[in-house]
Structure 1
Amino acid sequence: MRLCVLCGSSSGSKAIYLEMATRLGKALADAGIGLVYGGASVGLMGAVADAALANGGEVIGIIPQALQEKEIAHKGLTDLRVVGSMHERKALMAELSDGFIAMPGGIGTLEELFEVWTWAQLGYHTKPCALLNVDGFYDGLATFLDSLVEQAFVKPNYREMLIVEEQVESLLAAISNYEAPVVTKWVKTSE
């Protein structure tokens, strides 16, 4: 099994973000779960990869040629794949992964999460999508997502597809126990 971790190439403003990235990387390696991620050696991306590698884990990084210098590609990975575009990066990360975890990050992290979660909602895959809600980082997003359900833009079962946990151990357990809902038509028609 391999899990794709989506997270920042920045370390963020709190030490707990790096600490949890390290804990996640170690936990993945200890559980024999391969890591697929964006290929950087810096920020949370570098921390999760370094921890997985230090504990004997498989780490596959995927980075676009244009970001190889900006994100400082990791040179010590099990496998570093350089691709031509962000579209290729995301497609290959999804293809190689059995599930997705978003840690704290910026716009790119959110965009990657929403894309794979949308694909799950549409039934393109049945892989779990999860948030590691480090120190309440995603509390505001979770509240907003709940409001989308209340406003009838997201069905409750699609909201429930997104696993939200605060600890690495409970997150990995929830991913392990995940069962995708049956995807049905989500738009009411007059039929």
Structure 2
Amino acid sequence: MKAICVFCGSSYGTRETYADAARATGRVIAEQGYTLVYGGAKVGLMGTVADAALEAGGKVIGVLPRALEDKEIGHQGLTELHLVGSMHERKAKMADLSDAFIALPGGVGTLEEIFEVWTWGQLGYHQKPCGFLNIDGYYDDLIRFLDHQTEQGFTKDVMRAMVQIAGTPEEMISLFENYTPPSAPKWIKRDET
């Protein structure tokens, strides 16, 4: 594992602990020798995680759609900033550059990003770990829903287990370093069950 992608909000949310977690995540990624890959903005938690990694001496790669360069305010102090044509290109580029994916608190965009890379993993497009950094219980209700979804037969246990849950960036990186992707396929023929 060389690069860790962080999906998170372009705003700060209502609790200071979210920004604290973003700072800690950026710092820990850099201190442990990993490259941070993220959405390329200098605002909100996105800017916070990037600044913390840079301050800790880390390499930071941003990926930003040209259409959002002014709105999300592209970060000009990064190791690399890739400007791309669309959100689809952004996500594909971030996935190509990354070996693991963390969702910090964020909105619909954050959820869409982490769910897409998780789906790609379920489909066998990659074998990279994904995880939710559950700061102050931010993802508690979502985790309960994911468990409910699994109980109701819409997600297999092995696919649910692909998503790591941690309370600190150190714990998340440890889970990633010890991650074993599922060996079973997503689909099993009816006569094999």
Report if TM-score (shorter chain) is over 0.5.
yes
C-alpha contact 1:64 1:84 (8 A) present in aligned 2: yes
Superposed displacement of residue 168, structure 1: 1.5
Instruction: Indicate the residue corresponding to 1:63 in structure 2.
Output: 64
Q: 2:128 aligned with 1:133, yes or no?
A: no
Partner residue in 1 for 2:160: 159
Task: Specify the code of the residue in structure 2 equivalent to 1:128.
Answer: P
Q: Any unmatched runs of 5+ in structure 2?
A: none
TM-score in terms of structure 1 length:
0.98
Report the more deviating stretch, 99-108 or 174-183. Answer: 174-183
**Contact 1:121–1:183 (CA under 8 A) maintained in structure 2:** no
Partner-residue secondary structure (3-state), 2:37: strand
Q: Percent identity?
A: 57
Return the alpha-carbon distance in structure 2 between the equivalents of residues 185 and 95 of structure 1. 22
> Residues 1-191 of structure 1 correspond to what in structure 2 (within 5 A)?
1-190=2-191
Deviation at 1:183, TM superposition (A): 3.5
* TM-score normalised according to structure 2 size: 0.97
Secondary structure of the 1:32 match is coil
One-letter amino acid of the counterpart of residue 118, structure 1: T
Report deviation, 1:186: 2.4
Q: Take 2:187 and 2:13, find their aligned partners in 1: how far apart are those partners?
A: 37
Cα distance change, pair 185–170 in 1 and its aligned pair in 2 (3 A): closer
Amino acid at match of 1:155: K
Aligned residues, how many?
A: 191
The Cα shift of 1:184 comes to 1.4
Question: CA contact under 8 A between 1:37 and 1:62: conserved in structure 2?
Answer: yes
- Gap change, CA 1:149 and 1:188, over 3 Å in 2: farther
CA distance in 2, matches of 1:154, 1:185: 9
CA contact (8 A) 2:65 2:83 kept: yes
C-alpha distance in structure 2 between counterparts of 1:185 and 1:107, whole Å: 25
Alpha-carbon distance in 1 for matches of 2:111, 2:189? 28
Alignment gaps of 5+ in structure 1: none
**How far is 1:144 from its partner?**
0.1
Deviations 1:63-108 (A, max 9, x none): 0000000001001000001000000000000000001000000000
